């Protein structure tokens, strides 16, 4: 396992030993590529990694508490958490969650973090920062600047009741890559299943899928695991209703769910 403290130490070496590195080189084996690292850029990046290192190992009961306090259960299958996760965003909390999503995959030699626009982008960035690698987001609509050299797959949105075609440039996903897929919420798993198809088409390897919230009573995890994808969720919801949300505690017996 490569701890976050190792990334901070590597950044220290890159900064003080050689502030400018040739284009395309990766200073200190962090996974980041740049042509010149200014003091301001270094300090900002180091602060982000320090924060992730300090809080990333903390217990995530705070996530469950925020879901209970700020989440709105609209139905037994629909949970609204847009006050802090996927509409209005808490940046420091996102860094914490990114570090926690990255931790189980530190020893998987991940080279890219992949998500679908738009609600997964900030979590992909936070996770990629903790792993020291770039992140890529699949686009839902083709831009005029995008060529035909793309990997594509269809994805169905249950919240929007529509099917869209996601695409990733072939330049940013190659057979040499090891990919960690990231999303905010796992329910039926349509977005992550589409990402799985894209990665498989590219010939890259899949390290797994990391999500913030999993609605475990829906079929997403089962579908991904049937496709051979390892799934890691920070908060797993067993059931929910207007009276409350019941979480699965991975470290406890199945019957000892916390309410």
> Taking the model in full, what pTM does it have?
0.78
Average pLDDT, the chain: 81
Determine contact, residues 149/171, Cβ cutoff 8 Å: yes
From the CA atom positions of the chain, what is the Rg in Å? 19
| Domain(s) of CATH 3.40.50.2020: residues in the chain | 59-248
Residue tagged 């996974």 (tokens): 31
205-244 pLDDT, tens digit per residue, is: 999 999 999 999 999 999 999 999 999 999 999 999 989 9
Average pLDDT over residues 79-89: 94
Determine contact, residues 118/93, Cβ cutoff 8 Å: no
Token pair listed for 7: 């990334």
165-174 pLDDT, tens digit per residue, is: 999 999 999 9
132-167 pLDDT, tens digit per residue, is: 899 999 998 766 566 678 999 998 877 677 888 999
Q: Which CATH number fits domain 59-248: 3.30.420.40, 3.40.50.2020, 3.90.25.10, 3.40.190.10?
A: 3.40.50.2020
């Amino acid at each position: 396992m490569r701890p976050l403290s190792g990334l901070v130490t590597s950044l220290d070496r890159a900064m003080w030993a050689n502030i400018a590195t040739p284009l395309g080189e990766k200073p200190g084996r962090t996974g980041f590529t740049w042509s010149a690292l200014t003091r301001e850029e270094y300090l900002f990046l180091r602060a982000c990694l320090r924060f992730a290192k300090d809080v990333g190992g903390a217990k995530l009961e705070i996530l469950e508490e925020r879901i209970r306090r700020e989440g709105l259960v609209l139905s037994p299958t629909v949970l609204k958490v847009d006050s802090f996760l996927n509409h209005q965003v808490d940046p420091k909390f996102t860094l914490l969650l990114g570090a926690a999503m990255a931790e189980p995959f530190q020893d998987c030699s991940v080279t890219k973090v992949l998500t679908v626009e738009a609600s997964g982008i900030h979590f992909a960035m936070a996770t990629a920062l903790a792993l020291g690698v770039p992140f890529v987001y699949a686009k839902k609509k083709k831009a005029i600047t995008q060529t035909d050299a793309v990997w594509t797959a269809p994805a169905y949105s249950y919240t929007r009741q529509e099917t869209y075609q996601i695409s990733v440039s072939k330049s940013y996903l190659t057979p040499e890559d090891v990919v960690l897929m990231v999303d905010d919420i796992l329910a039926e798993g349509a977005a992550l299943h589409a990402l799985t198809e894209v990665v498989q088409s590219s010939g890259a390897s899949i390290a797994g899928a990391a999500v913030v919230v999993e609605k475990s009573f829906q079929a997403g995890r089962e579908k991904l695991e049937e496709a051979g994808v390892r799934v890691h969720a920070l908060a797993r919801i067993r059931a929910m209703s207007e009276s409350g949300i019941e979480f699965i505690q991975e470290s406890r017996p199945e019957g000892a769910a916390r309410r």
